[in-house]
Chain A
Amino acid sequence: GAGVSQSPRYKVAKRGQDVALRCDPISGHVSLFWYQQALGQGPEFLTYFQNEAQLDKSGLPSDRFFAERPEGSVSTLKIQRTQQEDSAVYLCASSWVNTEAFFGQGTRLTVV
């Protein structure tokens, strides 16, 4: 596709449930980022991939958060045992190396 595609667009999870969020970057983009955006705040960095290598995961808030990009294209962000504080919009962005990043539409996660 022409842009970054994320699915699902909306996810409601019961507290304690595991969720998986998918990101399909712009074709050929080697860099992929995950951000978390709370209501009324700017996006906060979670993790960064260059191709299949996860080069920075310093922003992941706990070991319940895990991300992968096994073939250097599609990425999945997994959250285990979801908590209410995990409720946010999860944004994926992609770019060529050292160029501007373009964002997907995001997945709005609500934990009830």
Chain B
Amino acid sequence: QKEVEQNSGPLSVPEGAIASLNCTYSDRGSQSFFWYRQYSGKSPELIMSIYSNGDKEDGRFTAQLNKASQYVSLLIRDSQPSDSATYLCAVTRSGSARQLTFGSGTQLTVLP
């Protein structure tokens, strides 16, 4: 079992729809959770961080965390073609507040 699992996709949604990206992790001691966006050929760009159970909203993005289920999600409302990218879920290792373990990413395509 991989430490951080994501559906690789591709996930396609029409413009204006809600895109839902999911991530599960195996390390129960993980404390910090992040979503990075990576355009093709570019470096990962931090878009959301979440540290406690529940929802966190920032503009069109909402991150959801359920530590009991070891589950993190990212919702993108009113999806735009510019949101087309690979979304990487990352968690910190237990005992470390620093190193990130990444999933393989979910490729999202928003169709105009």
Does A31 reach chain B (CB closer than 8 Å)?
yes
Number of A-B contacts (CB under 8 A): 49
With A45-B99, A56-B96 already in contact, the answer to whether A103 and B49 are too (CB < 8 A) is: no
B43 and A101 form a contact (CB under 8 A): no
Nearest CB in chain A: distance from B30 CB, A = 14
Residue B78 at the chain A interface, CB threshold 8 Å: no
Instruction: Find chain A residues with CB under 8 A from B25 CB.
Output: none
Bitwise, B40-58 to A at CB < 8 A (1) or not (0) is 0011111001000000000
Question: Which residues of B have CB within 8 Å of A44?
Answer: 102
B49-93 contacts to A, CB under 8 A, are 49, 88, 90
Looking at A11-19, A35-43, A63-71, A72-80, the stretch in contact with chain B turns out to be A35-43
Q: Is the CB of A100 within 8 A of B105?
A: no
Q: Select one of A40, A43, A100 contacting B102, CB under 8 A.
A: A43
User: Taking CB as reference atom, which chain A residue is nearest B42?
Assistant: A105
- A98 interface neighbour in B88, B97, B104, B105, Cβ under 8 Å: B97
Find out whether the CB atom of B98 lies under 8 angstroms from the CB atom of A103.
Answer: no
A9 to B14, CA, bound (A): 34
Q: Chain B residue with minimal CB distance to A38?
A: B104
**What A residues does B34 contact at CB under 8 A?**
100
Q: Report whether B104 and A40 are in contact in the complex, using a CB–CB cutoff of 8 Å.
A: yes
User: B99 to A56, Cβ gap below 8 A?
Assistant: yes
**Provided the pairs A56-B99, A100-B49 are in contact, do residues A105 and B104 lie with their beta carbons within 8 angstroms?**
no
Q: Are A101 and B97 in contact (CB under 8 A)?
A: no
Measured between beta carbons, the chain B residues less than 8 angstroms from A25 are: none
Using CB atoms, name the residue of chain A closest to B99.
A45
Report whether B88 and A91 are in contact in the complex, using a CB–CB cutoff of 8 Å. Answer: no
Q: Please judge, given known A-B contacts A42-B88, A42-B104, A100-B34, whether A91 and B98 are in contact too, CB under 8 Å.
A: no
Tell me the B residues contacting A by CB distance below 8 Å: 4, 34, 36, 42-46, 49, 88, 90, 96-105
A residues lining the B interface (CB < 8 Å): 31, 33, 35, 40-45, 48, 56, 59, 91, 95, 98, 100-106
Q: List 9 A-B contacts (CB under 8 A).
A: A35-B100, A42-B4, A42-B90, A43-B88, A48-B98, A91-B43, A91-B44, A103-B44, A105-B42
